Structure formats: structure tokens, C-alpha cells
Amino acid sequence: MRVLGIETSCDETGVAIYDTDKGLLAHQLYSQVALHADYGGVVPELASRDHVRKTIPMVEATIKAAGLTSDQIDGVAYTAGPGLVGALLVGACIGRSLAYGWQIPALAVHHMEGHLLAPMLEENPPEFPFVALLVSGGHTQLVQVDGIGRYKLLGESVDDAAGEAFDKTAKLMGLDYPGGPRLAALAEQGVANRYKFPRPMTDKPGLNFSFSGLKTHTANTIATEADDAQTRADIARAFQDAVVDTLLIKCRRALEQTGLKRLVVAGGVSANKELRIKLHELLSKRGGAVYFPRTEFCTDNGAMIAFAGAQRLLAGETNDLSIKTRPRWPLDELAAV
């Protein structure tokens, strides 16, 4: 089964074709970073308009790159949430319309399920069950995954997501958009342990996260001490170390609580080098394994949507002609496959 995947939940337009027999055939990704840079963050209306301009040409280019024609596509999967409602509507309308025109089934895909399953696109995919850390600009969640659609939420952020905290802190430091990767790059120049920032909610039981207090602590430190380039780098290092350590502690607790030894890490922040190093060390010591998507599939992309959609379409799941998007959509509401 060949499935066309369309991702337009925020500021990246992603299109891909996944073949359930041959794997990923082709994918295209367009980032709107340059479009939003002047505003210091994503402008929803501009994001939606850019998706309108880019999606159809990218669909055509992806089909051509796969060496296919439209009549060789067996299904269409599109992101229906969570995300920016206007951006979601663009992909949903295009995806549903293409499926109707081609007389093939269409499926609304959960954005975070796409991220969760992204490591399945790699040569050495994880086996079920596992614990998943979904860590991005909009979400920080720990999920027990027993199969596709068999999800148990273990913990989540009660305020800022980890990626959001990275971006907001970067803005406080005067770094350009997108701030998260720029702050991580600055942290590489910092001296470890010059500053010791709090590891929020790690002194309490449970698996929820909170990063707003850490952001405030960092803001106060910036305001009083960031008077030279090295100090700024040291503050960035302290902030990143605090976030990484917090994620590490919570992942260890989740593995202990579930008794599992496999960890999947996905979402934009999963590209962070320090996080990858520390989690590899943790799982190695525990005799387990950690799985990441390749760097290009850490951020939003069409490949993960095509894959997730293909698994559900293959199981016979489809949607009717109505076009529905869900800017907020709990992951554990999904049906098991």
C-alpha cells in the first residue's frame, strides 16, 4: 500500500510517500524559518498562507520523485492535530480533496503519533512495548507504548514544554529565531557547572514536567550577570544541562515504573546532542536501548505522517468526507490498531 502523507501543523510543510512493502519512497520538507524570522516566532496566519502556496507543488514533486503517478497512490494521510488550526485546515482540506478526487481512502493522523512512530522508519526500529519521550516545542510527554494506538500517558508538562522553554530562553538572550537550536549551539561554548540551575519537579514523585520556573530562574540570571559573551554561553550551558538532566531523571523513573528497557525519543528537541549522549549512557547502563529518528525526521515532516497513516489505513481505518481538525487532541484517545 502506497500512502501519501501531508504535514502542515505549524511552520513546516512536509510531504512523503510510504510504501508498506518497500518503505519510504520519497519525501520533501520545506521550512518557514526565514518567513517568521523577522517576527521572532511563528505567525499563524502567515504559516497557513505559506502552506497553501507550497503543499500542492510539493505533492506533485514528491510523486514524481517516487517515480509514481497519482493513480498509483492507495491512500492519503494528513495531520489533523494537534497544531495551529489554520495550518491544520490547509493540509486537511488538500489531503481530503486529493483522496476524494483520486477515489481512495483518507485518514486524519495525530501529529504526536507521527512523532512517536518516526523511529520506525529507521533500519533498526524498536519493538513494542517501550517508553516514549515526546519532546518538542509544543509537547513534553512520557508515554507507555504497548502497540499502535495502545498508549498510556505517564506524565506531561504542566506549563511550558521543553522546546518552548528553549525558544523563550533563547529570546531572552537575544538569539534569533529559531531560538532552541541557537541556544544549544551557544551552550557548547559554555563552561559546565559555573552556574547550577534547578532541576524542576525532580524532588517530587511522579512523571510530570514543569519548565516555567527554570525559565524564570534563567531570566533573572541573564538580567543580573550576562554582561559578556562567555557568561552568556555559561548561562546557556547551565540552562541546557538543567533541561537535559530533568528529562533524564524522568525517563529513568518511567523505565523503572514500567519495567521496560526500551526508550524512544522523538520530537524537535530529540535532535539535541547533549540529550542524545546522556540518554545513550543511561540506557547502556541499564542494559537497554534508546531509539531516535534521524535528525531530518526529528522536526515535523511528512514521512512520519505517511508511516503512521499507512499503519492505520492498512488495518482498515478510514475517515468519511467531513474535514475535521483538532488543535488539542489527547494522544490516549486514539483507537488501538
From the list 167, 242, 162, the residue with the least C-alpha distance to 197 is: 242
Spatial CB neighbours of 99, under 8 Å, sequence gap ≥ 6:
75, 76, 105, 106
**Residue 137 counted as an annotated binding residue:** yes
**Residue 59 counted as an annotated binding residue:** no
**Residue 51 counted as an annotated binding residue:** no
Task: Please list, residue by residue across 10-26, b when 16 or more beta carbons sit within 10 angstroms of its beta carbon and e when fewer do.
Answer: bbbbbbbbbbeeeebbb
**Residue 193 counted as an annotated binding residue:** no
**Nearest-angstrom CA–CA distance, 152 and 150:** 7
**Residue 136 counted as an annotated binding residue:** yes
**Residue 135 counted as an annotated binding residue:** yes
- Residue 335 phi, psi (nearest 5): -80, 150
**Nearest-angstrom CA–CA distance, 280 and 295:** 16
**Nearest-angstrom CA–CA distance, 309 and 329:** 16
Please state the length of the chain. Answer: 337
Q: State which H helix or E strand residue 148 sits in.
A: none
**Nearest-angstrom CA–CA distance, 3 and 102:** 12
Give the ranges where the chain is alpha helix by DSSP (H). Answer: 33-36, 44-65, 85-102, 111-117, 162-172, 179-187, 212-225, 229-258, 273-285, 302-314
**Residue 227 counted as an annotated binding residue:** no
Residue ranges for the known binding site for substrate are 134-138, 167, 180, 272
Residue ranges for the known binding site are 111, 115, 134-138, 167, 180, 272, 300
Residue ranges for the known binding site for Fe cation are 111, 115, 300
